[in-house]
Amino acid sequence: MTAPTGADTVIPQPARFGALRLWWLRALAGGRIRAEGRVTLGRGAAIRVARDARVVLGDGVHLGPGCRVEALAGTLRLGARTLVGQRAFVIALDGLETGEDCVIGDFAGVGVPPGPGVAGPVRLGARVRIAAHETVASGTSVP
């Protein structure tokens, strides 16, 4: 199994000591981060988990350099072989789930609240591609 490829997809180079960093992040989160296989972290990729939230990373997930994955409430689940681009951010305000082989482009934002106090679960189906600099609002479902 390989990560998605194409003209709009660049697989990030793994960060030096990325596996050790992932282990350290999992230890700091107190078991609230789970990896279901191999996960690649780009340089400066950040994973943050609130006390009542969880992050589940599927097999073959690639987190690009400088990207941010945050679970503030509910479960943030990135499906197998999902690619999160450079400096993109994925925020779960009330749960977020992506299908397999999804691509979130560079500088894109997923789970952004459309207004103050507005939150809802985000669902992205299999093989969804979010373009660079695009925003997907909280409470959105993309088949």
How many other CB atoms are found less than 10 A from the CB of residue 31?
Answer: 9
Q: Are 10 and 33 in contact (CB under 8 A)?
A: no
CA 141 to CA 135: how far, in whole Å? 13
69 located within any domain: yes
> What does each of the 143 residues of the chain score in pLDDT, given as a tens digit?
454 555 455 555 555 556 677 776 777 777 788 888 888 888 888 999 999 999 999 999 999 999 999 999 999 999 999 999 999 999 999 999 999 999 999 999 999 888 787 888 999 999 999 999 999 999 889 98
56 located within any domain: yes
19 located within any domain: no
Q: Give me the CATH number covering residue 110.
A: 2.160.10.10
How many domains would you assign to the chain? 1
Q: Give the closest residue to 65 by CA, choosing from 34, 42, 94.
A: 42
41 located within any domain: yes
pTM strictly above 0.85 = no
- Residue 67's domain comprises 36-93+101-122
Instruction: Give the pLDDT score at 23.
Output: 73
54 located within any domain: yes
Residues 72-105: b if buried by 16+ CB within 10 A, e if exposed? bbbbbbbbbbbbbbbbbbbbbbbbbbbbbbbbbb
14 located within any domain: no
Instruction: Give the pLDDT score at 31.
Output: 79
Work out whether the CA dihedral 4, 82, 98, 63 comes out positive or negative: negative
2 located within any domain: no
Instruction: Give the pLDDT score at 117.
Output: 79
